[in-house]
C-alpha cells in the first residue's frame, strides 16, 4: 500500500518530528519513514526528522508498505463496500463472519475477504480493523488502509471520538429510554464470556432508546460510550432484556437464528482530511422483517 501526502507549512515548527507527531504519526510509523529512502522530503530534498520547518516550506511524506498480512489466507468473498478512499475502507459486515482468523477458523473471515480484494489488485495490504464486531453482529465496520490512518483512528477510538450507534432487538418491553452504567469483566473460568461485576469490572456505559415494541420484543437504538467486549449483549441482559438467539447469553432460537444486533452508524472525522463523516449500513432482512 502506498500513500503520498503533501503539507504546506503555515506555522513554524521546531522539527519535522514535532510536526509529524502533531499530525498523528506514531513512533513506529516515524521509524518506518526514517528507514525508507526519500520518504521525507522538505522542499524536494530528502531530510532528517530533526530539521526545522518554516512558513512556506513544503513537506512531502511517502508511506510505502511492500509487505502485507502474509499470515492471512486470501479468500474470494463478496464484500459490501460502503465507502473507500486512499485512507479508509468501510464495509457492511454480514452475519456469521468473524473479523479475524482464529484457532480452527483460519478462513472465511472478513480479513480473508479483504486480503483477497487487495491481492486481486496486486496491492500489498496489512489488515487493520478499527471497529471490530462480533461474529454474528452485522453492519458498519471501519478499516484503515495504511499506517497513518490506523494510527490516527486508533487514537480516536481511545479518546472516544468515534461514535457508534447500533440497533438491537431485545426480549420483552424495554423502558422507553435509559442509561446502563455497569462495569464489565471476563466471567470466571471463561475466555469468551463477559459479565457485570461492580468489584472487578472495567467501566462500561450504554445509552438506549426504544424505537418500537410489539409487547414481546423491542427494537432499541443503542449508543455505547465505552467499547467493552459484548457490552450491548451483556448490558441488555443485565437489565432483563437479553437479545434472543445469543449463543452465549440467551440461546433461545424460536424467533431468530443469530443475535439481532446491527452496527447501524459510525460518526468520526476522516483520519487525513479531518472531514466529519457519517456512514450507515442498511438494516439486514432478518431484523427488518421483525418490525
Angstrom distance (rounded) from CA 251 to CA 253: 6
Q: What does the block give as the cell for 168?
A: 438491537
**261-269/138-144 β-pairing:** parallel
Question: With contact defined as beta carbons under 8 Å apart, do 241 and 224 qualify?
Answer: no
C-alpha cell at 113: 475477504
CB atoms within 10 A of CB 288: 12
d(CA 57, CA 291): 58
What is the C-alpha separation between 16 and 20, in angstroms, rounded? 6
Q: Which three cell numbers stand for residue 172?
A: 420483552
Whether 241 and 208 have beta carbons less than 8 Å apart is answered as no
Q: CA-based Rg of the chain, rounded to a whole angstrom?
A: 22
3-state secondary structure of 165: strand
Catalytic entry in 87, 134, 136, 246: 134
Whether 134 sits among the annotated catalytic residues: the reply is yes
Catalytic residues: 134
Amino acid at each position: 500500500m502506498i500513500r503520498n501526502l503533501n503539507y504546506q507549512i503555515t506555522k513554524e515548527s521546531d522539527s519535522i518530528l514535532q510536526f509529524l507527531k502533531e499530525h498523528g504519526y506514531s513512533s513506529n510509523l516515524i521509524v518506518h519513514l526514517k528507514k525508507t529512502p526519500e520518504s521525507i522530503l522538505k522542499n524536494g530534498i530528502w531530510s532528517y526528522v530533526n530539521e526545522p520547518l518554516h512558513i512556506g516550506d513544503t513537506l512531502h511524506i511517502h508511506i510505502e508498505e511492500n509487505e502485507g498480512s502474509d499470515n492471512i489466507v486470501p479468500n474470494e468473498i463478496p464484500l459490501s463496500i460502503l465507502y473507500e478512499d486512499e485512507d479508509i475502507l468501510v464495509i457492511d459486515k454480514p452475519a456469521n463472519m468473524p473479523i479475524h482468523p482464529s484457532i480452527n477458523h483460519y478462513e472465511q473471515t472478513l480479513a480473508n475477504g479483504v486480503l483477497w480484494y487487495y491481492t486481486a489488485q496486486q496491492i500489498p495490504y496489512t489488515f487493520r480493523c478499527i471497529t471490530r464486531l462480533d461474529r454474528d453482529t452485522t453492519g458498519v465496520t471501519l478499516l484503515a488502509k495504511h499506517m497513518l490512518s490506523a494510527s490516527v483512528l486508533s487514537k480516536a477510538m481511545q479518546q472516544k471520538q468515534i461514535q457508534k450507534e447500533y440497533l438491537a432487538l431485545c426480549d420483552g418491553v424495554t423502558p422507553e429510554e435509559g442509561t446502563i452504567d455497569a462495569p464489565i469483566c471476563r466471567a470466571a473460568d471463561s475466555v469468551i464470556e463477559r459479565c457485570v461485576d461492580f468489584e472487578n469490572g472495567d467501566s462500561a456505559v450504554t445509552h438506549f432508546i426504544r424505537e418500537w415494541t410489539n409487547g414481546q420484543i423491542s427494537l432499541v437504538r443503542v449508543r455505547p460510550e465505552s467499547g467493552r467486549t459484548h457490552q450491548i449483549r451483556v448490558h441488555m441482559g443485565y437489565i432483563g432484556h437479553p437479545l434472543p438467539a445469543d449463543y452465549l447469553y440467551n440461546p433461545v432460537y424460536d424467533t431468530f437464528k443469530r443475535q439481532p444486533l446491527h452496527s447501524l452508524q459510525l460518526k468520526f472525522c476522516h483520519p487525513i482530511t479531518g472531514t466529519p463523516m457519517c456512514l450507515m449500513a442498511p438494516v439486514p432482512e432478518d431484523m427488518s422483517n421483525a418490525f
